[in-house]
Structure 1
Amino acid sequence: MLTEKRIEIGFLLFDGFPMACLTSLIEPLRAANEIAGQGAFCWSLITERGQKVRSSAEVRFEAERSLSECQPIDILFLLSSPTSGFADPGYGNGVLRSLARHGTILGGISGGVFPLVRSGVMTGHPVSVHWCYEAAFEAEFPEMDARCEVIVTDATRYTAAGAAAAFDLALHLIEDRLGGDVAHEVACWFQHPMMRGKGVRQQVPSTSSPDTGDRLPPLVARCVDLFASHISEPISIADVAQQTGVTPRQIERAFKQATGRSPSHYYRAMRMKAARQMVVYTKDPLADIALAIGYGSVAPLVTHYRSAFGLSPSEDRRRTNRFRVEGNTPLPSI
């Protein structure tokens, strides 16, 4: 159990942060205070210099204090897009490291894990990474223990993938501080059907046709798992067949029936989705992106990318830049 004192939470906001993640954390805490009849939680909005920021929905928020005014604070969550960063990285990252040394729990929600990891405070800590950012995160932080669970926490670090996961994380904070009955009532207030915990994997959209549903047949699902683990070093359908104990022809038939695609086209679509994450959410050169998804040169990447998305990677990156908000932050944020 956390101590009985009021828990002070700071939300460090960067331009382009996902507004839903902020409200998904604050609203259950507010409701818990009302239900319990006490101010168990308090919170404040923080920016690097105390400046105003804009969410990914272009809604402006006014900070209550600057990063230099964060001490003492119990928990600090970073909310941002993947490309967000401090105007003065040396100072901002130094403050986060100082807060960590003095006992502040640090966390990141959705894209907020990117500046959190860049600060150096996540060494040795696992991280929840939203599936939409998985390839970009792996490209920038190959040494990190990135996980697909909706919530990943340890004693001093809290990370969550997206707004619904942030709500779940808030419910866990409420349960720890005020008990399960209050957490359950808060969930009922918002018609939140269940409180997900550690170990629950994210729901990820498949590349199958809309009428196939979310559940793939066991053979196809096993093949997809093998494809997903071989994005940078492609695996042949023959090798997949050998590892699953069937023939390539059986895999072809299973994919056609379940997805309407051949396994090779399904696999290519997965690799193109990974490529697009890196195109949109990193500044990596196209040659590096091509290598990251298993191509020896840029030419086949451009060909397959255009076939998948209707424009080249460079055109897609330029188009995304036109919709970026101040501070070079991409939209949308999750």
Structure 2
Amino acid sequence: MLTEKKSEIGFLLFDGFPMACLTSVIEPLRAANEIVGQGVFCWSLVTERGQKVRSSANVRFEAECDLTTCQSFDILFLLSSPTSGFSDPSQGNGALRTLARHGTILGGISGGVFPLVRSGVMTGHPISVHWCYEAAFEAEFPDMDARRDVIVSDATRYTAAGAAAAFDLALHLIEDRLGSEVAHEVACWFQHPLMRGEGVRQQVPSTSKPDTGEKLPHLVAQCVELFAAHISDPISIAEVASLTGVTPRQIERAFKQATGQSPSHYFRAMRMKAARQMVVYTKDPIADIAAAIGYSSVAPLVTHYRSAFGLSPSEDRRRINRFRVEDNAPLPSS
């Protein structure tokens, strides 16, 4: 049954935030209001100082209030790129901690989990981290309970891995407030076939064949999982074979057939993707990045990175920084 109290939701936006994540929450809530004929959910856009911000799609958004004057939200979601942060971290982080102490549920969507964790409000709470940010997140927050589930939540914290996950999270908010029938009708409005919840894992490119989306064979998928668990302490193909109960030759054949690559090259590509996350989304020294993905020195990282991306890690970082500073443009985020 409906109550008169509205659910007030704030979206704290940083430059470079993923616009799709914002609309993926607002649109289902708007539809739910229309279906029940009441403004059960209301929302406001918030920025640190009330300033305008640009999304990753370069669309400008105007805030309705600044963070320090918005105290009435039931839920406040942070939307950002991984590199976003407060211009005044002490004040911004303090404002989030104050909201948490006064009962506001805090959440992060996609890259928004980065400033959320930096504020200190996620200690003891598990977090959904988008697969494309995993290496950067682990490098910055090695002690946090990061998970690959599309949604991770508890009583006071909500996190979601991307735009589709944000839509699922909105459906759960609708279900909690208005019931499953309304949530199902909203899902049907948008032809959203399945409302995912806790425990559903993210789909990641490494589990599918290139360009097809077809699932990798079981043996190859097993190997990929082992590779992913050993980015920082590389595992040999012989060790993978022993753990999966097959011979190295069987793994070689399976990878060639399924991916067109040898397992060692496939593993190296995974490590290079992790390295690039840290190059792009952290300020860690290149030597630290090399060590984080299992290299004893920078030289082999530079060689393999250049082979994968056409430039060295340092050149890539300078290019990204020029893109951010000279073009005043945010990096795309998921």
* Residue in structure 2 matched with residue 227 of structure 1 by the alignment: 227
The separation in 2 between residues aligned to 1:157 and 1:215, in whole angstroms, is: 33
Contact 2:50–2:63 (CA<8 Å) still a contact in 1? yes
Cα RMSD (Å): 1.8
* Residue in structure 2 matched with residue 17 of structure 1 by the alignment: 17
- Runs of at least 4 residues off by over 4 Å: 1-4, 325-330
* Residue in structure 2 matched with residue 332 of structure 1 by the alignment: 332
Question: Tell me, which stretches of 5 or more residues in structure 1 are unaligned?
Answer: none
Deviation of residue 296 (structure 1)? 0.6
The separation in 1 between residues aligned to 2:35 and 2:3, in whole angstroms, is: 19
* Residue in structure 1 matched with residue 297 of structure 2 by the alignment: 297
Deviation of residue 325 (structure 1)? 6.5
The separation in 2 between residues aligned to 1:57 and 1:157, in whole angstroms, is: 27
Contact 1:151–1:161 (CA<8 Å) still a contact in 2? yes
When residues 328 and 91 of structure 1 are mapped into structure 2, their CA distance, relative to the original with a 3 A threshold, is farther
Contact 1:12–1:79 (CA<8 Å) still a contact in 2? yes
Deviation of residue 73 (structure 1)? 1.3
Deviation of residue 27 (structure 1)? 0.8
Aligned with 1:316: secondary structure? helix
Deviation of residue 207 (structure 1)? 7.8
* Residue in structure 2 matched with residue 88 of structure 1 by the alignment: 88
What do residues 198-241 of structure 1 show as CA deviations (whole Å, max 9, x unaligned)? 11111111287636643111111111111110000011111111
- Counterpart AA for 1:308: A
Deviation of residue 107 (structure 1)? 0.1
- Identity among equivalent positions (%) equals 86
* Residue in structure 2 matched with residue 39 of structure 1 by the alignment: 39
What do residues 283-312 of structure 1 show as CA deviations (whole Å, max 9, x unaligned)? 111001000000011110010001111111
Aligned with 1:152: secondary structure? strand
Q: Does 1:149 align with 2:145?
A: no
Contact 1:136–1:278 (CA<8 Å) still a contact in 2? yes
- Counterpart AA for 2:60: R
Contact 1:3–1:177 (CA<8 Å) still a contact in 2? no
Contact 2:54–2:61 (CA<8 Å) still a contact in 1? yes
What does residue range 62-73 of structure 1 map to in structure 2 within 5 Å?
62-73=62-73
Q: Does 1:52 align with 2:52?
A: yes
Deviation of residue 330 (structure 1)? 4.4
Aligned with 1:45: secondary structure? strand
Contact 1:29–1:41 (CA<8 Å) still a contact in 2? yes
What do residues 245-264 of structure 1 show as CA deviations (whole Å, max 9, x unaligned)? 11111111111111111111
* Residue in structure 1 matched with residue 77 of structure 2 by the alignment: 77
* Residue in structure 2 matched with residue 171 of structure 1 by the alignment: 171
TM-score (norm 1): 0.96
Comparing 187-196 and 106-115, the one that deviates more:
187-196
The separation in 1 between residues aligned to 2:330 and 2:278, in whole angstroms, is: 12
* Residue in structure 1 matched with residue 244 of structure 2 by the alignment: 244
The separation in 1 between residues aligned to 2:295 and 2:86, in whole angstroms, is: 33
Aligned with 1:256: secondary structure? helix
- Counterpart AA for 1:10: G
Contact 1:231–1:294 (CA<8 Å) still a contact in 2? yes
- Counterpart AA for 2:172: H
- Counterpart AA for 2:175: E
Contact 1:83–1:330 (CA<8 Å) still a contact in 2? no
* Residue in structure 2 matched with residue 186 of structure 1 by the alignment: 186
How many correspondences in the alignment?
A: 334
* Residue in structure 1 matched with residue 271 of structure 2 by the alignment: 271
* Residue in structure 1 matched with residue 320 of structure 2 by the alignment: 320
Contact 1:82–1:115 (CA<8 Å) still a contact in 2? yes
* Residue in structure 2 matched with residue 26 of structure 1 by the alignment: 26
- Counterpart AA for 2:167: F
Contact 2:108–2:116 (CA<8 Å) still a contact in 1? yes
Comparing 3-12 and 163-172, the one that deviates more:
3-12
The separation in 1 between residues aligned to 2:181 and 2:244, in whole angstroms, is: 46
Deviation of residue 321 (structure 1)? 2.1
The separation in 1 between residues aligned to 2:326 and 2:187, in whole angstroms, is: 35
When residues 330 and 230 of structure 1 are mapped into structure 2, their CA distance, relative to the original with a 3 A threshold, is farther
The separation in 2 between residues aligned to 1:241 and 1:31, in whole angstroms, is: 51
- Counterpart AA for 1:35: I
Contact 1:83–1:328 (CA<8 Å) still a contact in 2? no
Contact 2:207–2:215 (CA<8 Å) still a contact in 1? no
Deviation of residue 4 (structure 1)? 5.7
Contact 1:77–1:107 (CA<8 Å) still a contact in 2? yes
- Counterpart AA for 2:233: E
Contact 1:54–1:60 (CA<8 Å) still a contact in 2? yes
- Counterpart AA for 1:189: W
TM-score (norm 2): 0.96
When residues 269 and 180 of structure 1 are mapped into structure 2, their CA distance, relative to the original with a 3 A threshold, is same
The separation in 1 between residues aligned to 2:96 and 2:2, in whole angstroms, is: 22
